[in-house]
Amino acid sequence: MANRRRPTGPRKPAKNKLPATSVRDFRNLLEEALSACDDQGRKWSDARWGCYAFYDYDGEPIYVGQTNEKLRTRIRRHLTNQRTDAVAMRILDVFEVADMELWPLWEYEGLTKKADAKGYKAARAHLDSIEYTAYLEAIKTSRFRAILNEKIPPLSEPTALPQSKRFSLISDETRKERGHPDVRIARRAETISRLAAVAHERGEVSPGLRRVLVIQAVRLAYISAARLAYVEGRPEPSPSAIDVEGLVGTVLYEPSDPHGRKDKDESEAEDEAAEGQEDD
C-alpha cells in the first residue's frame, strides 16, 4: 500500500485566531471578568440568579437585564453568541459595550420551582425588583435619562441592590480604535439603519423597539453635535437640549404592560431552561 503523504501548504488556523485583534481582546477580557471571584471565592458570574448592566465608552449605561438561568450564560449569549433577542433585533450593539456590572443573588442558588413553588415565585418578584431598581439607577445616571431596553422591567417597589462588581471589557488599544468619535458616529448610524430595517422588514414590532430607535437617534444626534462643537472649539452641548421624554413618553414603566413581562423570547425561555435543569 502506497504511503499517503500529507498535503503541503498552509495549515488550517485555530478558530480563536480568526477574529480581529479587537474582538479577541474583548473576548479575553470578558473571560477574565467571568472568571473573577468575590472575597468568598465565588465567581461573580456563576450565580444562577442576578442582574447585569452594560455601559458604553463614555460610561453611559445602555442596557439592564436579569436572569435566573445563570449570569455567565446570559452574558455570553449577549456578547459572544449573539443569540439573545436584544442583539438579534439590532437593539444592542456589542461594539458599544465597554463595561459590564453584575449583581448576583446568591441566596437563591438552591431554589427550584418544583421543590418550592411559593419561594420560587417570591424570588422572581425579588429579581424583578432588583432589575427595576438597577434600571432606575441607570436612568438616573444616564445623560439622556433613557437607555436601550426594548422592554422596560416590570414596575416594582425599589429595593436595596446587592453587592455588585463592575468590569472593563476593552483594552487601551481597542479604546483608541473604536472609541474615536467618528468611528462611534459611523457605527451608531449603522446600528440605527439596521434597527430601522428590522422595523421595516418585520412590520409588526413592539412599541419598545420603536422607542429604542428614537433613543439611538438621540444618542447619534448628541455625539455628532459634541463632535461638531469640538471641531469648532465650542463647549459640548447640554444633553438637556434634547427632551427624550417629550419624544418617547415615560421610560419609567411600560405603558402597555407596566406590571407584567410579555417578552417571551427572554423570560419564558429562561423559565423553561431553568425548569429543565431542575428536572435533570
Give percent helix, percent strand, percent coil of the chain, each to the nearest 5. 50, 10, 40
pLDDT at 231 over 70: yes
Q: Please report the DSSP string for 223-258 in residue order.
A: HHHHHHHHHHT-PPPPGGGS-HHHHH---SS-TT-S
Please indicate, yes or no, if residue 264 is contained in any of the structural domains.
no
* Residue 277 located in a structural domain: no
> Which alpha helices (DSSP H) does 142-266 contain, by range?
172-178, 181-202, 207-232, 244-248
Is the sign of the CA dihedral 113, 119, 125, 130 positive or negative?
negative
Residue 176 belongs to some domain of the structure: yes
Task: Tell me the C-alpha distance between 271 and 116, whole Å.
Answer: 15
273 domain-assigned:
no
Establish if 2 belongs to a structural domain: no
Kindly report which listed range (52-56, 193-197, 248-252, 272-276) carries the lowest average pLDDT score. Answer: 272-276
In a domain, 28, yes or no: yes
Rounded CA gap, 260 and 242, in Å? 30
Predicted confidence band of residue 88 (pLDDT cuts 50, 70, 90): low
- pLDDT of 120: 95
Percent of the chain residues topping a pLDDT of 70: 86
Cell of 153: 422591567
Residue 49 counted as domain residue:
yes
Residues of the domain holding 60:
20-251
Q: Structurally, how many domains does the chain consist of?
A: 1
Helix axes 181-202, 207-232, angle to 10 degrees: 160
Q: What's the confidence (pLDDT) of residue 9? A: 67
Query: How far is the C-alpha of 146 from the C-alpha of 15, rounded, in Å?
Result: 38
Confirm whether 64 is domain-assigned.
Answer: yes
